[in-house]
Structure 1
Amino acid sequence: MTKRHIFFLGAAALGLSTVAPGASAQDGAIDKRVERLEKEMRAVQRSVFPGGSPAFFEGEIAPDNVAGERVRSNAPVIDLTARVDALEAQLQTLTGQTEQNAFQLRELEKQFAAYKAEMDRRLTSATATPASLEPAPAAVEPAPLVKPAATATTARATPAKKPASTASTSATKPDASRLAMVKKVEIPATGNEVDDGYTYGYRLWEAKLYPEAQAQLKTVVSKWPSHRLASFAQNLLGRAYLDEGKPSLAAVAFYNNYKDRPSGARAPHSLMFMGVALDKLGRKADACKAFRELDEVYGDKAPQDVRSDAAAAKAKAGC
């Protein structure tokens, strides 16, 4: 072996001895890096899969931090649970309110049924003339205008028929001056028999020709009892009796209008004037009953003039 060969082998051995420690140090650094990466990966896996099996993930995170990790990961579920609880509470509140509304509606229906039954009872009881509203015997109209020859016939007739006999007596022996007054009253001729009949009766009453007005108005009521003007005619008949100074007959006429036509246009007026007529007869208790009936049956539905007149009449009667 030459000297040159020996030098080359020595240089190679020296190079190997120099490289071996460097490679060993490099391998140790790589191991540490791999170990650190593995630890970081396990930490990432615990964040993605909280509570994972220890067989796969080592417990490098402290127990007190695990709960926090779980709370953060379960936050959406907790929020959904809270929202469901809130919805259930609102549903319970709405259900309670619905039950309360249904109960109140049933109570209102019961009250309305009781009110309707009471109104039906009052209207039914009004169909029969109460004894308290019958004309007092002492207040029956005397017959000073009836001729002596007709006294027996008048005595047998009812109070409602006395004006008819009076009118017939007046027609038998009319007074010239009164005939002249009647002729001055224009007889309407519009072609509507009902309207013309009532209008003529009204004009006679307005001219203070009360007996003639009474006869005309009674004709209208008897011929057309179901016509809308029958309520007007019967009420005006009572007014004619009242203005003539016959409150007993007026009370009967007013009561018949209220009884036969409770929904008529002049039913509230008749009920109010009936109280006025009873007060004139000295029957204040019955007059107050009539005024109370007016308030209970019609109330605010009665025309304003009727309510105003009734208030004045009640004050006068001391009701």
Structure 2
Amino acid sequence: MCAPRALTPKLLSSVVGAALIVVATPVAAQSEARIQRLEQQISALQRAVFPGGDERFFEPEITPEVRRTGQPASPQVTTSALTDVLARLEAMETQLARLTAATEVNENALSAIDRRLNALEGSGSAPSGSFATPAPTPVSTPAPTGTIPVPDERAQLPAPPPQPTQSSPSAARVAAVEAIVKPVTGDGAEDEYTYGFRLWDAGFYPEAQQQLALYLEQHRGHRLNSRARNLLGRAFLDAGEPRAAATHFFENFQGDAQGDRAPDSLLYLSESMIALGDTRRACIALAEFGDTYPALAVGRLQGMYEGLSGRVDCN
């Protein structure tokens, strides 16, 4: 029997190298499988976050090493190769976390947009700067319902208390009302509106209310409807009935936000809420006016807008 040979340094180095290859080969194979799985997950997540994205539009952040010949390099079973594998894994995990965070941010943004759209659709008003404004729809003035919705909110006010029965007007008042001349121009609808305006302008508020309500009932869709609804609200407000006035102001704004006097009605709605001591709803109406009619807030209605804003603390 031959005696065992002594391991020379050269022979010992060969044995250790072979052992490292045997041990490192399964580790490299497992790491490569893990890398491929993570790369597939990242590709799927990129398609969800960036629909339609591919290498024509998005340069991959992680690419396999390529030799100068253009062919992918075969894995090397060395310590430096394992270090590269760990670095690639860390980079992919970081990218995966970033893409996950981006997905959550997008989902939160979409949820916020949905909530705002639902709120605006519920209030019946279009958001400022919307893509399209629906055509105005002729709306008649319905009887007061006892509830007053406000922009961006469906809060309700209690029904107004029953009004005491009014006594018959005096002979002097009847004569004064009869002295208000009803115009006859050939345009019956405009004549009815002008007569209501003259009654309001003369301070005959109950008579103006009746005349304007009659005009709105008989001439639906007329070009002066927005002015008449706004003036009807003012006739109630000037008569000391802000709750009834608020109903007409809001219905004028809600029924046709692009009407001639819809912006005015929104400001008078705020004034009615101030008269009722409801600062919160007054501020909602002012905020809606500023968002929907920014040009009028620094133009025709600037004085009224700033005056009402100075009467309430909306901070």
If the length of structure 2 is used for normalisation, what is the TM-score?
A: 0.52
CA contact 1:141–1:249 (8 Å) conserved in 2: no
Residues 216 and 298 (structure 1), Cα distance of their counterparts in 2 relative to 1, 3 Å cut: same
- Look up the match of 2:231: 236
- Look up the match of 1:110: none
Residue correspondence of structure 1 range 128-139 to structure 2 within 5 A: 129-130=149-150, 134-137=156-159
Residue correspondence of structure 1 range 65-144 to structure 2 within 5 A: 124-127=121-124, 129-130=149-150, 134-137=156-159, 140-144=160-164
Equivalent residue letter for 2:251: N
Post-superposition shift, 1:271? 0.4
- Look up the match of 1:267: 262
Residues 303 and 315 (structure 1), Cα distance of their counterparts in 2 relative to 1, 3 Å cut: closer
Post-superposition shift, 1:126? 2.8
Of structures 1 and 2, the one scoring higher in RCO (CA 8 A, sep 6+) is 2
- Look up the match of 1:246: 241
Structure 2 unaligned blocks of 5 or more: 1-56, 58-112, 125-147
User: Alignment length, in residue pairs?
Assistant: 181
Post-superposition shift, 1:141? 4.6
If the length of structure 1 is used for normalisation, what is the TM-score?
A: 0.51
Structure having the higher Rg: 1
Post-superposition shift, 1:305? 3.5
Structure 1 unaligned blocks of 5 or more: 1-98, 100-115, 148-169
- Look up the match of 1:70: none
- Residues 1:306 and 2:314 aligned together: no
Residues 190 and 301 (structure 1), Cα distance of their counterparts in 2 relative to 1, 3 Å cut: same
CA contact 2:123–2:154 (8 Å) conserved in 1: no
Residue deviations 1:114-134 (CA, integer Å, cap 9, x gap): xx9999766633339356553
Residue deviations 1:222-245 (CA, integer Å, cap 9, x gap): 222322200000000010111000
1:215 equivalent among 203, 210, 216: 210
- Residues 1:197 and 2:221 aligned together: no
Equivalent residue letter for 2:122: S
CA contact 2:227–2:260 (8 Å) conserved in 1: yes
Q: Distance in 2 between matches of 1:200 and 1:174?
A: 19
Query: What SS does structure 1 have at the residue aligned with 2:301?
Result: helix
Q: Single out whichever of 202-211 and 305-314 deviates more from structure 2.
A: 305-314
2:173 equivalent among 169, 178, 191: 178
Equivalent residue letter for 1:315: G
Residues 222 and 203 (structure 1), Cα distance of their counterparts in 2 relative to 1, 3 Å cut: same
CA contact 1:135–1:251 (8 Å) conserved in 2: no
- Look up the match of 2:61: none
CA contact 2:296–2:302 (8 Å) conserved in 1: no
CA contact 1:239–1:250 (8 Å) conserved in 2: yes
Equivalent residue letter for 1:275: S
Residues 195 and 120 (structure 1), Cα distance of their counterparts in 2 relative to 1, 3 Å cut: farther
Q: Single out whichever of 279-288 and 308-317 deviates more from structure 2.
A: 308-317
Post-superposition shift, 1:214? 0.4
Post-superposition shift, 1:135? 3.2
2:286 equivalent among 291, 313, 319: 291
Equivalent residue letter for 1:204: L
